């Protein structure tokens, strides 16, 4: 079954159907007690995403251009420098070589990625490099990736990143709260993080590979949304298991249930291990089929990735020229 071509727009497009920012709700423990997840059914459904769908030629190019607008172009390495961040920001504003865009008729479309994601100390460099571009800066915080620093330090890290200009904050939750079923503690923690963010949007990283069960993943997603998360995110990228179609399906089903029950839109961000254009098409298919067209915009969907953009650009060059270029031909991705 072929997937129809999505509209190709710039990274700042916004679906008019999207409502106000998720304010959160009261913690509803009764809702959590009713959660059940059938792993075999989830795995069977997730397996259909890549097995019976094809996107070819101009349709594939359109979907890949859409994927670019949803990338959080990321560098989270111990040897990050001002220069590396500046190069990444230059790539964020010009994600595809101009000759390729001209061949696609997209040279004047204003194509850019969804955001640039860095450590808090790199935020000032990214903000300066992206000034006037419209591309926001996202910062990890709260003791990323383990989240085991004292709570006052985690809150202060959020406030620091926001004060330096971060428009989005990717927080990590305390996994112990999920593993012990202490949903009240998880709710209170995320609520405090949301308050510290102020106007900056909060993405709650669940580190799903460390939560034990798919039911825990579903419940943790619901609690984060009840506490006011703007996005739920699979992973830090540092766990042994990161974003998978199975865990992503569980999380987007939780997003859908939360929307149906409250009317509030919450975004989804898979991160870790998403490296190829084929991966991007799979996750876009998941969002379109499970959540609908509104969730194909960067306001509600992001990839956390560092190398994905390079492969997408390579596939677009193949679409234009009929030849696969070496990856090194694509500037910093």
Kindly list the catalytic residues.
170, 233, 269
Nearest to 311 by CA among 295, 328, 296: 328
- Cα–Cα distance, 175 to 181 (Å, whole number): 10
Buried b (16+ CB within 10 A) or exposed e, 152-170: eebbebbbbbbebbbbbbb
Q: Mind giving me the DSSP string for 258-270?
A: HHHHH----EEE-
Sheet of 168-172: strand order equals 267-269, 231-233, 201-205, 168-172, 137-140, 115-118, 71-74, 303-305
Burial of 303 (C-beta count, 10 Å sphere; 0-12/13-18/19+): buried
> E strand or H helix at 62, and its extent?
helix 57-68
β-bridge partners, 267: 231
CB of 97 closer than 8 Å to CB of 316: no
The pair of three-digit structure tokens given for residue 208, joined into one six-digit string? 């799903």
Write out the two tokens for 308: 């994905």
Residue 171 contacts residue 142 (beta carbons within 8 Å): yes
């Amino acid at each position: 079954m072929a997937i129809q071509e999505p509209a190709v727009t710039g990274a700042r497009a916004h679906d008019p159907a999207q409502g106000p920012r998720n304010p959160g709700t009261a913690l509803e423990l009764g809702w959590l007690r009713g959660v059940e997840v059938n792993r075999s059914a989830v795995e069977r459904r997730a397996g259909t995403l890549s097995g019976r769908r094809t996107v070819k030629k101009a349709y594939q190019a359109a979907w890949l251009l859409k994927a670019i607008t949803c990338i959080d172009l990321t560098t989270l390495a111990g040897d990050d420098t001002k220069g590396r961040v500046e190069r990444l920001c230059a790539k964020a504003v010009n994600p595809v070589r101009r000759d390729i865009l001209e061949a696609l008729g997209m040279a004047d479309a204003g194509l850019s990625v969804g955001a640039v994601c860095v450590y808090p100390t790199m935020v000032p460099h990214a903000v300066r490099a992206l000034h006037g571009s419209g591309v926001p800066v996202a910062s990890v915080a709260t003791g990323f990736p383990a989240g085991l620093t004292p709570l006052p330090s985690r809150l202060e890290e959020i406030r620091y990143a926001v004060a330096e200009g971060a428009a989005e904050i990717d927080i990590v939750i305390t996994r112990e709260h999920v593993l012990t079923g202490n949903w009240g503690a998880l709710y209170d923690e995320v609520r405090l993080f949301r308050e510290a963010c102020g106007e900056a949007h909060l993405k709650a990283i669940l580190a799903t590979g460390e939560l034990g069960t798919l039911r825990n993943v579903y419940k943790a997603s619901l609690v984060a949304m009840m506490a006011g998360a703007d996005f739920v995110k699979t992973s830090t990228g540092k766990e042994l298991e990161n974003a998978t179609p199975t865990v992503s399906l569980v999380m987007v089903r939780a997003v859908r249930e939360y929307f149906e029950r409250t009317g509030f839109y919450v975004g989804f961000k898979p991160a870790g291990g998403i490296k190829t254009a084929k991966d991007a098409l799979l996750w876009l298919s998941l969002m379109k089929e499970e959540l609908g067209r509104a969730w194909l915009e960067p306001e509600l969907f992001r990839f956390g990735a560092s190398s994905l953009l390079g492969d997408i650009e390579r596939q677009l060059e193949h679409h234009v020229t009929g030849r696969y270029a070496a990856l090194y031909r694509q500037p910093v991705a």
